[in-house]
């Protein structure tokens, strides 16, 4: 019974939090950009908090019998809540532009009728206009309008009072104003700091992408032009009858190898370009991991046979169901096995093993090839550190495989690990949640 009550309370709290998150993110869309979305959220926060404060004042004034002030409070509340409505309709500037002048006049009227220090809240209108509005002329006009209202109201309030409120109420209004003003300034500071951090992170990612792009261009210019030039050279010789069919057939073996390397480089480059343009959005599903790895092994059989490498498959007897994106996992396993083949010697052995830890499964690919230098090992998965190293058969690559694989693994709530010793081989492991 206690567990049922606990779960019910947890569900209720979760629904309440979800409801308020939806309210705070009303009108937020990715297409608006970082700065605009932050501004929209701020409008929602100002509208909701100000509207709730007006609701609280209307209840207090109802109890005190100040019905004219209740009407002002309700009108203010409606104006503030309407800002959220305008955001929902994607009329982002219209809400603050209509609401702020109306609120300024209502605050001024309240101060003139009750002499309750509500004119101080006009300073909040000025602060919020600086945060919530984009048009500098509208901000300037609203600021001047509020300043004039503040001066006039403060001077006339003692002489136009109809229902003088108590001194305690005046002090309470002033204290609440001060708290809200400090909160407004602090929140504005947090917004600026948060926006600055997001810009710094965006700049960092942009710099990483630029460095990666520069490295790719240099690698592509060197490695990918070679097979194309060789092909044109052989075709020219064949066309000029300077190369016999027999000689071309013998030379074609090298050409096929270069063309295969070119295809692998293009595949890696296209995968990288796709992730840069579209991002990586995993589509998780339940699937048999062992069966998927078997498909990858079949696909890579020509590469195993070419270097006479024997695969010791220690996972064939297992059945392991996991929840992840099968296409992402397939790419990771293919890259790990391809790298093991690439850096293994002729007639070597590659060991494929699996460790099932209940909630986590670890797939390991071990080779006994050239290994990895310690200096490279520290940044082997870094996106801005591309390591294009020829294989034992002079296989070429553009160095994107491991950084892409790590990115795919992280998107599927997993990660890659590596243990290696130069000259003795390497073990790459994929860690995935079941």
The alpha carbon of residue 52 and the mean position of all alpha carbons in its chain are separated, in whole angstroms, by 32
CA distances to 24, 177, 188 from 117, rounded to whole Å, are 30, 9, 24
Domain-embedded: residue 225: no
- 269 occurs within a structural domain: no
31-50: b (≥16 Cβ within 10 Å) or e? eeeeeebbbbbbbbebbbeb
User: How many domains, the chain?
Assistant: 2
Q: Of 117, 148, 165, at which residue does a domain stop?
A: 165
Residue 50 domain flag: yes
Residue 161 shares a structural domain with residue 297: no
> Has residue 84 been placed in a domain?
yes
In a domain, 175, yes or no: no
**Residue 275, pLDDT score:** 59
Same domain assignment for residues 149 and 292:
no
Specify burial of residue 186 (Cβ count, 10 A radius: 0-12, 13-18, 19+).
exposed
Q: Are 206 and 153 in contact (CB under 8 A)?
A: no
pLDDT tens across 11-70, in order?
777 778 878 888 888 888 877 777 778 778 888 887 888 888 888 888 988 888 888 888
**Domain around 338:** 281-434
Residues 6 or more apart whose Cβ sits within 8 Å of residue 200: none
Residue 259 placed within a domain = no
Classify residue 199: in a domain, yes or no. Answer: no
Kindly report the pTM of this predicted structure: 0.48
Could you give the CA distance from residue 412 to residue 432 in angstroms, rounded to a whole number? 8
Alpha carbon separation from 199 to 72, 172, 194, 204, 246 (Å, rounded): 42, 40, 9, 8, 61
> If 0-12 CB within 10 Å is exposed, 13-18 middle and 19+ buried, where does residue 222 land?
exposed
Burial class, 197, CB count within 10 angstroms (exposed 0-12 / middle 13-18 / buried 19+): exposed
Beta-sheet pairing, 349-356 with 310-313: parallel
Q: What are phi and psi of 153, to 5 degrees?
A: -65, -45
93 CB-near residues (< 8 Å, 6+ apart)? 133, 134, 135, 138
The pLDDT, as a whole number, for residue 281 is 67
How far is 318 from 289, CA to CA, in rounded Å?
A: 9
Report the residue count for the chain: 434
Closest CA to 396 of 246, 298, 268: 268
Q: In sequence order, which residues have a C-beta less than 8 Å from that of residue 182 and are 6 or more positions away? A: none
**Rounded distance, CA 361 to CA 429, Å?**
10
Q: Which of 141, 165, 189 is the last residue of a domain?
A: 165
Give mean pLDDT in consecutive 10-residue pieces for the chain, a chain of 434 residues: 60 78 84 78 82 86 84 87 88 84 86 85 80 80 87 87 81 83 77 78 75 60 61 70 68 66 65 58 86 88 86 87 88 88 91 88 92 78 62 62 81 90 90 87
pLDDT at position 311, please?
93
| Adjacent-strand bridge partners of 421 | 425
From 128, 146, 165, give the residue that closes a domain.
165
The helices-and-strands tally (H runs, E runs) of the chain is 14, 7
Q: Is 415 part of any domain?
A: yes
Whole-angstrom distance, CA of residue 237 vs CA of residue 38: 64
């Amino acid at each position: 019974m206690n567990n049922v009550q606990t779960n019910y309370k947890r569900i209720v709290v979760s629904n309440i939090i979800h409801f308020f998150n939806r309210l705070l993110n009303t009108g937020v869309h990715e297409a608006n950009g970082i700065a605009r979305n932050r501004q929209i959220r701020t409008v929602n926060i100002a509208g909701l908090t100000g509207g709730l404060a007006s609701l609280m004042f209307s209840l207090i004034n109802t109890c005190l019998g100040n019905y004219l002030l209740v009407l002002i409070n309700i009108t203010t509340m409606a104006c503030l809540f309407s800002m959220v409505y305008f955001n929902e309709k994607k009329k982002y500037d219209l809400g603050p532009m209509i609401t702020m002048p109306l609120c300024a006049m209502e605050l001024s009227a309240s101060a003139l009728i009750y002499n309750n220090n509500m004119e101080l809240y006009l300073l909040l209108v000025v602060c919020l206009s600086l945060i919530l509005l984009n048009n500098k002329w509208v901000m300037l006009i609203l600021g001047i309008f509020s300043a004039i209202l503040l001066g006039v109201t403060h001077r006339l309030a003692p002489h136009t009072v109809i229902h003088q409120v108590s001194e305690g109420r005046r002090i309470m209004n002033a204290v609440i104003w001060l708290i809200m003003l400090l909160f407004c300034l602090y929140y504005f500071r947090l917004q600026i700091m948060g926006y600055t951090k997001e810009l710094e992170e965006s700049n960092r990612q942009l710099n990483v992408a630029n460095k990666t792009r520069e490295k790719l261009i240099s690698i592509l210019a060197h490695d990918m032009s070679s097979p194309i030039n060789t092909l044109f050279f052989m075709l020219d010789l064949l066309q000029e009858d300077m190369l016999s069919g027999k000689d071309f057939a013998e030379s074609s073996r090298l050409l096929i190898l270069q063309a295969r390397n070119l295809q692998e480089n293009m595949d890696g480059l296209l995968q990288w370009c796709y992730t840069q343009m579209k991002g990586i959005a995993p589509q998780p599903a339940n699937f048999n991991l062992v069966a998927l790895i078997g498909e990858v092994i079949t696909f890579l059989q020509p590469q195993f046979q070419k270097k006479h490498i024997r695969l010791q498959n220690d996972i064939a007897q297992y059945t392991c169901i996991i929840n992840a994106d099968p296409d992402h996992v397939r790419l990771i396993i293919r890259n790990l096995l391809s790298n093991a083949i690439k850096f293994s010697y002729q007639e070597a052995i590659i060991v494929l093993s699996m460790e099932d830890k209940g909630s986590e499964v670890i797939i390991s690919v071990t080779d006994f090839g050239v290994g990895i230098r310690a200096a490279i090992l520290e940044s082997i998965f870094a996106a801005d550190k591309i390591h294009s190293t020829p294989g034992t058969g002079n296989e070429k690559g553009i160095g994107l495989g491991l950084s892409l694989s790590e990115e795919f693994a992280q998107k599927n709530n997993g990660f890659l690990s590596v243990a290696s010793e130069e000259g003795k081989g390497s073990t790459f492991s994929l860690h995935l949640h079941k």
